[in-house]
Structures are given as structure tokens and as C-alpha cells.
Amino acid sequence: MTFNAAVFYNDIKNLQVTADAGSCSSRIIFNVPKAHTAGLEAEFNARVSPNLDLSLSGSYIDSKIDSNVTDAGGAIIAGIRKGNRLPTVPKFQMAAAATYTLQIAAETDWSFTASYQHVGDRYTQLADQEPGAGTFTNSIYYNPANGTYGTGAYNFGSYKLDAYNLVNLSTGISWDSGLSLTLFVNNLFDENPRYSLDRERGGRGRLGYNIGTPRKIGLTVRKDF
């Protein structure tokens, strides 16, 4: 068995963050005077038997802005407000895997692997956390929840990207000669993980989620020399 863990704190100065330039297609980069990330990471691996290997890892991260960026009138710019979470960073994520291997014939091994991944909720941009965020008044959008397109006003309710879970399975045979055949199923339950909220010209040009790959079933043939 092996166990590794780390506790960390990063004090960040002049962090560069990206924001939409209003209804323009451009992006603007701001320097945030102060920010921080702090958290815990841990991983555990165990060989339960000569045939079975288990692994578990996870992290909890607190990452926030520690200073405001305002315009000449004192209004917060692009959600750069003290206490807002840094974009794209989940508070909690974890992964687990199990692999079972068995010799089924001379110079021939069979294996089966199952893995699970959990990624917590996140935001695409700092401004997505501001009060009132969630509505585009003039947009062209695609809703992956029901597969519909539309135009006009669209209310997301919240720009927060929901947590998601992925399960992958694989089984295969390998020979000592270096040849192996592996049948796999990725994203077993056909989840639609939302990676980011993609918007162009303030939602006037394009509006929709960037989502993960749907369920994929395939066969891998590999030869090592």
C-alpha cells in the first residue's frame, strides 16, 4: 500500500483573468492584485492480492479572489470581486479505479478495469458569479438538456457548471509477445459533462455549453516491439 498527501497554500499576485468585452467578440485580460489557492490532495494505492489493484485519489481546493478591480465609478469589473471563486477550478474532485488481472493461459493475461471520476461544480468566468448573472436578452442558443435551438431572451438561472461523474470500463487480453486487444466503454452512462459556457458577442452571436464526449465503445489493438 502507498499513501501520499499534500497540504498547500499559494499566494498569488497579479493573476491574469479573461473577461468578455461586453457585446464585442474580443476578450480583455485583467490583472487581479491578489488571489489565493489552498487545499488538500491525497492518493491511495493498494495491491489487495496478486491479481487486484485499487486506487483512490481526491482533492479539495479553496481558490478565491482577494481584491476588487473597479472602474472609475467604483463598480466591480467583470466579476473581479473579493471572495469570488477562481474560474474553472472545482472545489472537490476525486477518482477511483480497480484493475483485476488473471493469467488464463500460457503467456496470456486477461484484465478488467473500472474507473470512476467526479468533478465538482465550477464557473467559466468570474463574472458568472455576480448577482443577476444568468440571463441573455438577445441570443442564439442551444440547450443540450433537450436538444433545442432558439433565439431571443434565454435565462440560464445560474451560470454555474454542474458537477459531473464519469464511469469507464475496459477489458482485454495481452500476450507476452507484446500484442494486446482491449475492448472499452468510455462514459458508460452517457453523461453530458459541461466543461464551459461558450458565448460570443455577449450571447448575440453564439451561446451554448462546451460538453464532453458521449458514450464511446471501441476496440484497441496494440503491439509492442
The DSSP secondary-structure symbol of 91 reads: S
C-alpha dist (Å) from residue 217 to 49, 130, 171, 210? 29, 40, 12, 21
Kindly state the percentage of the chain with pLDDT values over 70. Answer: 97
Instruction: Give the pLDDT confidence score for residue 51 in this predicted structure.
Output: 96
C-alpha to C-alpha distance for 111 and 171, rounded to whole angstroms: 6
Among 88, 78, 3, 4, CA closest to 46: 3
CATH architecture for the domain at 2-223: Beta Barrel (2.40)
Question: What confidence tier does 198 reach under pLDDT thresholds 50, 70, 90?
Answer: confident
Residue 185's nearest CA partner among 164, 170, 174 is 170
Whether residue 70 has pLDDT greater than 80: yes
For residue 145, is pLDDT > 80? no
- Quickly count: other Cβ atoms within 10 Å of residue 216's Cβ: 12
Q: What are phi and psi of 176, to 5 degrees?
A: -65, -20
Relative to beta strand 52-65, strand 92-105 is antiparallel
CA torsion, ordered 215, 96, 223, 49, to nearest 10 deg? -140
Helices (H) and strands (E) in the chain, counts: 0, 12
DSSP-assigned states of every residue in 19-31: EE-TTSS-EEEEE
Q: Count other C-beta atoms under 10 Å from residue 84's C-beta.
A: 21
Q: What is the pLDDT of residue 146?
A: 79
For residue 19, give the C-alpha cell.
473577461
> What's the whole-number mean pLDDT along residues 194-203?
81
**pLDDT-derived band at 114, boundaries 50, 70, 90:** very high
Ramachandran category for residue 168: left, alpha or beta (phi over 0 → left; psi -120 to 50 → alpha): beta
Confidence of residue 97 (pLDDT cuts 50, 70, 90): very high
Instruction: Calculate mean pLDDT across residues 175-179.
Output: 94
In this structure, what DSSP letter does residue 38 have? E
Residue with cell 464526449: 213
At 15, list the grid cell. 493573476
- Reported as a pLDDT band with limits 50, 70 and 90, residue 116 is very high
β-partners of residue 142 are 149
> Mean pLDDT across the chain, nearest whole number?
91
- Identify the weakest region by mean pLDDT among 3-17, 68-82, 139-153: 139-153
Q: Where are the domains of the chain?
A: 2-223
112 or 158: whose pLDDT is higher? 112
Question: What are the pLDDT digits (tens) for 154-176?
Answer: 777 788 999 999 999 999 999 99
**pLDDT over 80 at 180, yes or no:** yes
| CA-based radius of gyration for the chain | 23
Residue 2: HSE in the Cβ half-sphere, 13 Å Cα cutoff: 6
